[in-house]
């Protein structure tokens, strides 16, 4: 395949992914928006007004970056895991496997689709959050950099989950039992300074904490941890996940008999 | 294509052992010439679909090599895949997509621009009678339409080698005939076709050469004509004019009375059919028409099983 043909193949996968989640927008775009509005109303306004400030910020301004990041993480992950597993389940993944499209293009196509949904939902949630909270962006490069890398990382993780999944239970186990606890305990709703030393140290093992803090720093200029570590951790994790996913596709694990 | 005289498909010492230790292929060798219409026959579990799966890289081989127009499917996978179109046995497209979108996307995976893909999609959907249904959800198509959609999808990148894994399974007779005409037409234009089928009439009607695979081994690889020469006996059904109350005796022939107007006569390869007519004529029995009772290839297949050329494990050829 020439580079131009590879570009067409990538564009085709991406267009198919976009069409998929836009066609079923009541399942893909609407629920996260409603969920985030409820978070803003309950945690931001009703409970948040009684909490006062967190790390020197009004509570609603403190949680807004975490809620945006949470929507990016869950949507990037769930788009790839459901789309790729759906293709495996219906066996239309074979359309790609019999084609000359290189595995790295397949990988990039699905990941780009996941990132489009994750970032798209993140953008909608950001617009909504402006209704509930006033905030300006402290650093555009840091904000965009970390949100892009986070979306990339969780799209890759979603793809690996989908490759290993043998049934529909397998694509809900990780989001329910791993992703949700990590997100809720990842500093979205509180500063880790509130925790005792043991729990604070334990929280430092949670990758979501680094992403949420880097994003909060990009928007509000405050963070519980050094954001250099955030970029290093997310970058390194993304690289490991990328090569793991590519290796699985090359070997045809769970895809070819 | 590297060489204009090279085989369309060349398989050397191909083996496949699945994770559960089942050995599906035990070192098969097979060459299919360019422009051929080739049948791969065998009972269920013989290794046909495994062979096809390996050719189109849905199944990983254990050892051996496959070349498509001299392009090795491992070393030169991109060129090899550009030359192959596959129509699988089971529906494997997104049932929630429209036929037109399925075809254009498939073309995209082969690096074909969407404007060209749309032209080709229209051409093949029209030829296969699906153009009017191009914007319906594919899950709403009938079984025959879904099968034709998979043929159109396999042709969208205009492959030189088309591999069909039981393309007419579950398709009614009329539609089967029209699909045969379509396949003959594209074969006539130069596309090499390999077909696996349970319908032996299909292989006999369409194909020039044939390989019979059983228990992962190719037991016959010859032309259909030469294979039919191996047929030891045929069964004919004769329709007679007058009512028959008893089965007539025809010396040297096995005869069975089916009903008052029909006889079944077994004729060995060494016997003349004229002898049957002469014997019937002597008994004043007038024959109105005559036909083969069963497909000749099917008879041959079972004959080969009887002669232990093919191992019989009780698997049915038609199930």
For A96-117, write each residue's pLDDT tens digit: 999 999 999 999 999 999 999 9
C-alpha–C-alpha distance, residues B112 and A96, integer Å: 14
Contacts of A22 (CB under 8 A, 6+ apart): A28, A29
Measure in Å the smallest separation between the Cα of A237 and chain B Cα atoms: 29
Highest mean pLDDT among A48-57, A59-68, A94-103: A94-103
Q: Which residues in chain A are contacts of B88 at CB distance < 8 A?
A: 94
Cα–chain-centroid distance for residue A251? 26
Packed helices A207-220 and A227-251: angle between N→C axes, nearest 10 degrees: 130
Mutate to test the interface with A, among B99, B111, B115 (most CBs of A within 10 A): B111
Contacts of B287 (CB under 8 A, 6+ apart): B238, B239, B240, B241, B277, B280
Residue B308: predicted pLDDT: 57
* B195 and B246 housed in the same domain: no
Q: Which residues in chain B are contacts of A4 at CB distance < 8 A?
A: 111
Q: Which residues in chain B are contacts of A94 at CB distance < 8 A?
A: 58, 88, 92
Contacts of A25 (CB under 8 A, 6+ apart): none
C-alpha–C-alpha distance, residues B199 and B170, integer Å: 11
With the CA atoms of B201, B203, B207 and B208 taken in that order, what torsion angle do they form, in degrees rounded to the nearest 10? -90
Where is the domain boundary, B182, B200, B228? B228
Query: Do B94 and A12 count as a contact with CB atoms less than 8 A apart?
Result: no
Range of the domain at B129: 9-228
Closest residue by Cα to residue B310 from B47, B31, B13, B11 = B47
* B116 and B72 housed in the same domain: yes
Which positions in chain B have a beta carbon within 8 angstroms of at least one beta carbon in chain A?
18, 53, 56-60, 77-79, 81-82, 84, 86, 88, 90-95, 101-102, 104-106, 108-114, 153
Query: Do B113 and A97 count as a contact with CB atoms less than 8 A apart?
Result: no
Closest residue by Cα to residue A135 from A189, A63, A212, A41 = A63
Strands across the sheet containing B71-72: B23-32, B9-17, B63-68, B71-72
Query: Do B53 and A11 count as a contact with CB atoms less than 8 A apart?
Result: no
Closest chain A residue by Cα to residue B50? A257
The answer to whether the beta carbons of residues A201 and A221 sit under 8 Å apart is no
CATH number at residue B279: 3.30.70.1560
Query: Do B111 and A94 count as a contact with CB atoms less than 8 A apart?
Result: no
Query: Do A91 and B90 count as a contact with CB atoms less than 8 A apart?
Result: yes
| A126 pLDDT higher than 80 | yes
Query: Do B112 and A8 count as a contact with CB atoms less than 8 A apart?
Result: yes
Query: Do A91 and B78 count as a contact with CB atoms less than 8 A apart?
Result: no
Q: Which residues in chain A are contacts of B59 at CB distance < 8 A?
A: 256-257
Q: Which residues in chain A are contacts of B78 at CB distance < 8 A?
A: 1, 100, 102
Closest residue by Cα to residue B26 from B290, B219, B251, B255 = B219
Query: Do A12 and B90 count as a contact with CB atoms less than 8 A apart?
Result: no
The full DSSP string for B250-290 is -TTSEEEEEETTEEEEEEETTS-HHHHHHHHHHTTPPEEEE
Residue B305: predicted pLDDT: 62
Residue B307: predicted pLDDT: 64
Whether ipTM > 0.90 holds is: no
Q: What is the DSSP-derived secondary structure letter of residue A91?
A: T
Closest residue by Cα to residue B9 from B40, B47, B46, B41 = B40
C-alpha–C-alpha distance, residues B147 and B110, integer Å: 21
In a domain, B303, yes or no: no
Packed helices A59-90 and A103-132: angle between N→C axes, nearest 10 degrees: 150
Q: Average pLDDT for residues A44-56, to the nearest whole number?
A: 80
Query: Do A87 and B94 count as a contact with CB atoms less than 8 A apart?
Result: yes
Q: Which residues in chain A are contacts of B94 at CB distance < 8 A?
A: 86-87, 90, 92
* B272 and B172 housed in the same domain: no
* B62 and B208 housed in the same domain: yes
Measure in Å the smallest separation between the Cα of B107 and chain A Cα atoms: 9
Where is the domain boundary, B208, B228, B248? B228
Measure in Å the smallest separation between the Cα of B204 and chain A Cα atoms: 29
Phi-psi region of A73 (alpha: psi -120 to 50; beta: other; left: phi over 0): alpha
| A82 pLDDT higher than 80 | yes
Q: Which of B92, B104, B108 sits opposite A9 (nearest CB)?
A: B108
The answer to whether the beta carbons of residues B276 and B287 sit under 8 Å apart is no
Domain ranges of chain A: 3-251
In a domain, B101, yes or no: yes
pLDDT band at A189 (very low <50, low <70, confident <90, very high): confident
C-alpha–C-alpha distance, residues A178 and B103, integer Å: 38
* B36 and B132 housed in the same domain: yes
In a domain, B309, yes or no: no
* B65 and B202 housed in the same domain: yes
In a domain, B317, yes or no: no
Residue B63: predicted pLDDT: 93
Residue B253: predicted pLDDT: 85
Query: Do A95 and B105 count as a contact with CB atoms less than 8 A apart?
Result: yes
The answer to whether the beta carbons of residues B145 and B139 sit under 8 Å apart is no
Between β-strands B209-214 and B37-41, what pairing exists: parallel, antiparallel or unpaired? Answer: parallel
Query: Do A95 and B111 count as a contact with CB atoms less than 8 A apart?
Result: no
Does residue A196 or residue B164 have the better pLDDT? B164
Cα–chain-centroid distance for residue B72? 25
Mutate to test the interface with B, among A13, A20, A92 (most CBs of B within 10 A): A92
- Count contacts between A and B (CB, < 8 Å): 87
The answer to whether the beta carbons of residues B209 and B222 sit under 8 Å apart is yes
- Going from the C-alpha of B42 to that of each of A19, B140, B214, the distances in angstroms are 42, 33, 6
* B139 and B180 housed in the same domain: yes
Q: Which residues in chain A are contacts of B110 at CB distance < 8 A?
A: 5, 9, 99-101
Contacts of B257 (CB under 8 A, 6+ apart): B244, B246, B247, B248, B263
Q: Which of A191-205, A222-236, B284-298 is the least confident region?
A: B284-298
Q: Which of A4, A15, A98 sits opposite B81 (nearest CB)?
A: A98
Which positions in chain A have a beta carbon within 8 angstroms of at least one beta carbon in chain B?
1-2, 4-6, 8-9, 11-13, 15-16, 19, 86-87, 90-92, 94-102, 252, 256-257
The full DSSP string for chain B is ---TTS-SEEEEEEEEE-TTS-EEEEEEEEEE-TT-EEEEE--TTSSHHHHHHHHTTSS--SEEEEEETTEETTTTHHHHHHTEEEE-SS--S-TTS-HHHHHHHHHHHTT--HHHHHHHHHHHHHHTT-GGGTTS-GGGS-HHHHHHHHHHHHHTT--SEEEEESTTTT--HHHHHHHHHHHHHHHHTT-EEEEE-S-HHHHHHH-SEEEEEETTEEEEEEEHHHHHHT--EEEEEEEESS--SSPPP-TTSEEEEEETTEEEEEEETTS-HHHHHHHHHHTTPPEEEEEESS-HHHHHHHHHHHTTSS---S--S--
Query: Do B58 and A8 count as a contact with CB atoms less than 8 A apart?
Result: no
Phi-psi region of A53 (alpha: psi -120 to 50; beta: other; left: phi over 0): beta
Q: Locate B169 and state its tokens.
A: 């399974």
Q: Which residues in chain A are contacts of B92 at CB distance < 8 A?
A: 90-92, 94-95
In a domain, B200, yes or no: yes
The answer to whether the beta carbons of residues B151 and B92 sit under 8 Å apart is no
Q: Which residues in chain B are contacts of A15 at CB distance < 8 A?
A: 105, 108
* pLDDT, one tens digit for every residue, chain B (319 residues): 556 778 999 999 999 999 888 888 998 999 999 999 999 988 778 888 899 999 988 999 999 999 999 999 988 888 999 999 999 988 899 999 999 999 999 999 999 999 999 999 999 999 888 899 999 999 999 888 898 999 999 999 999 999 998 887 777 777 888 888 889 999 999 999 999 877 777 788 888 898 888 888 888 888 887 877 776 677 888 888 888 888 888 888 888 888 888 888 888 777 888 888 888 888 888 888 888 776 566 667 766 766 655 555 444 333 3
| A5 pLDDT higher than 60 | yes
How many domains does chain B contain in total?
Answer: 2
C-alpha–C-alpha distance, residues B309 and B316, integer Å: 16
Q: Which residues in chain B are contacts of A19 at CB distance < 8 A?
A: 101
Range B7-37 burial, b when 16+ CB lie within 10 A, else e: bbbbbeebbbeeeeeeebbebbebbbebebb
C-alpha–C-alpha distance, residues B61 and B248, integer Å: 57
pTM, entire model: 0.83
* B128 and B191 housed in the same domain: yes
In a domain, B313, yes or no: no
Residue B318: predicted pLDDT: 36
* B201 and B294 housed in the same domain: no
Q: Which of B81, B95, B153 sits opposite A100 (nearest CB)?
A: B81
């Amino acid at each position: 395949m020439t580079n131009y043909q590879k570009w067409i193949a990538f564009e085709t996968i991406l267009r198919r992914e976009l069409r998929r989640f836009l066609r079923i927008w009541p399942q893909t775009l609407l629920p996260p928006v409603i969920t985030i509005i409820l978070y803003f109303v309950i945690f931001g306004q009703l409970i948040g007004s009684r909490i006062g400030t967190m790390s020197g910020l009004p509570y609603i301004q403190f949680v807004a970056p975490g809620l945006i990041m949470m929507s990016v993480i869950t949507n990037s992950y769930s788009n790839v895991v459901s789309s790729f597993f759906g293709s495996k389940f219906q066996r239309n993944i074979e359309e790609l496997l019999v084609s000359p499209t290189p595995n790295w293009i397949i990988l990039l196509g699905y990941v780009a689709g996941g990132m489009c949904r994750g970032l798209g939902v993140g953008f909608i949630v950001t617009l909504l959050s402006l209704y509930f909270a006033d905030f300006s962006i402290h650093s555009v490069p840091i904000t965009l950099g970390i949100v892009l890398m986070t979306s990339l990382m969780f799209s890759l993780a979603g793809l690996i989950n989908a490759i290993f999944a043998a049934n529909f239970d397998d694509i809900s186990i990780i989001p329910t039992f791993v992703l949700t606890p990590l997100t809720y305990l990842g500093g979205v709703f509180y500063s880790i300074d509130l925790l005792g030393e043991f729990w604070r140290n334990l929280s430092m093992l949670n990758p979501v904490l680094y992403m949420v803090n880097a994003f909060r720093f990009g928007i509000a200029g405050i963070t519980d941890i050094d954001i250099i570590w955030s970029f290093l951790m997310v970058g390194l994790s993304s690289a490991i996940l990328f090569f793991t996913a590519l290796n699985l596709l090359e070997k045809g694990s769970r895809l070819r008999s | 294509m590297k060489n204009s005289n090279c085989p369309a498909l060349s398989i050397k010492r191909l083996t496949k052992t699945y994770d559960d230790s089942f050995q599906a292929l035990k070192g098969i060798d097979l060459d299919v010439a360019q422009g051929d219409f080739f049948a791969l026959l065998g009972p269920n579990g013989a290794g046909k679909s495994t062979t096809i799966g390996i050719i189109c890289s849905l199944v990983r081989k254990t050892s051996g090599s496959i070349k498509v127009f001299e392009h090795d499917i491992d070393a030169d996978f991109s060129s090899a895949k550009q030359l192959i179109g596959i129509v699988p046995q089971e529906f494997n497209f997104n049932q929630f997509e429209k036929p037109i979108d399925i075809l254009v996307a498939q073309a995209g995976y082969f690096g074909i621009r969407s404007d060209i893909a749309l032209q080709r999609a229209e051409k093949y959907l029209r030829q296969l009678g699906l153009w009017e249904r191009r914007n319906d959800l594919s899950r709403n198509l009938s079984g025959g339409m879904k099968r034709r959609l998979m043929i159109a999808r396999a042709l969208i990148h205009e492959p030189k080698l088309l591999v069909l894994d039981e393309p007419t399974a579950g398709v009614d007779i009329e539609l089967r005939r029209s699909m045969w005409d379509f396949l003959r037409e594209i074969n006539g234009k130069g596309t090499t076709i390999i077909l696996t089928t349970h319908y032996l009439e299909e292989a006999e009607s369409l194909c020039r050469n044939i390989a019979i695979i059983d228990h992962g081994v190719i037991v016959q690889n010859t032309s259909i004509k030469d294979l039919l020469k191996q047929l030891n006996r045929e069964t004919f059904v004769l329709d007679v004019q007058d009512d028959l109350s008893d089965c007539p005796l025809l010396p040297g022939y096995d005869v069975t009375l089916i009903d008052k107007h029909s006889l079944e006569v077994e004729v060995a390869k060494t016997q003349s059919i004229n002898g049957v007519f002469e014997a019937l004529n002597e008994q004043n029995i007038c024959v109105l028409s005559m036909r083969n009772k069963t497909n000749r290839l099917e008879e041959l297949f079972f004959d080969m099983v009887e002669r232990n050329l093919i191992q019989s494990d009780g698997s049915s050829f038609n199930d």
